[in-house]
Amino acid sequence: MRWRYYCDFCGKVGGSSYHMLNHERACTKNPDRVCGLCDLAELRQQPMPVLIEALGYGDAEGLERLRDAAGANEVGKGCPACILAAIRQSPKRPAPEDYEDQSDPEIIREKIEFGYYSPVFDWDREGGAGHFDYQAEFKDFMAIVNAERTRRDWERGVYG
Ligand SMILES: [Zn+2]
Ligand SMILES: [Zn+2]
């Protein structure tokens, strides 16, 4: 039989304890996570309570505040892993009574699944007020990080 390892925070399964320990350290459900992306981009990682507080109700303004808290001024739109972590770890909040999508079971299910239950946070939906696409933002973030590294290397005379 093969040993299987589970992340204590999100339940992800893996076959190697080494990789699972690495994952757990940075897992976006871990309240004490150490962010590898912030490290890579030389951003000062903010504590989870600060990020969660910034997101507030998860509306468009909350997402902008979260981007700032997650380093938006230094690198593009902020660290995508820290933003995702804040979304996943935010407490569930019931939508206000006048919110028109209140009765859409699909939206409600999506939000509950990600541990986030907000009036306008539109997970994975184009054009939502607080739309956040982790894969796309990760790509943009890495492009900026790599460009910045190349620029610094030029300044340091790495290329002669
Ligand atoms: Zn995990
Ligand atoms: Zn980060």
Both 20 and 72 in a single domain? Answer: no
Q: What's the number of domains the chain is made of?
A: 2
If asked whether residues 16 and 49 sit together in one domain, one would say no
Question: pLDDT tens for residues 47-81?
Answer: 999 999 898 766 667 788 999 999 988 778 899 99
Dist. CA 97 → ligand 1 center (Å): 33
Its pTM stands at: 0.75
Residues 112 and 47 in one domain: yes
Residue predicted with more confidence, 124 or 71:
71
Q: At 146, is the secondary structure helix, strand, or coil?
A: helix
Measured in Å, residue 33 CA sits from the centre of ligand 1 at 10
Burial class of 89 by CB neighbour count within 10 A (0 to 12, 13 to 18, 19+):
buried
Please check whether residues 24 and 48 belong to one and the same domain. no
pLDDT digits (tens, 9 = 90+) for 87-113: 888 765 555 555 455 555 544 444 444
In a domain, 151, yes or no: no
CA–CA gap between residue 79 and residue 58 (Å, rounded)? 17
Q: Please give the pLDDT value at position 79.
A: 95
Q: Kindly give the distance from the C-alpha atom of residue 30 to the centroid of ligand 1, in angstroms, as a whole number.
A: 7
Residues 47 and 12 occupy one common structural domain: no
69 CA distance to ligand 2 centroid (A)?
Answer: 10
Range of the domain at 133: 31-146
Q: Are residues 4 and 46 located together in one domain of the fold? A: no
How crowded is residue 134: how many other Cβ atoms within 10 Å of its Cβ?
A: 16
Does some domain include residue 73? yes
- Cα(35) to centroid of ligand 2, in Å? 5
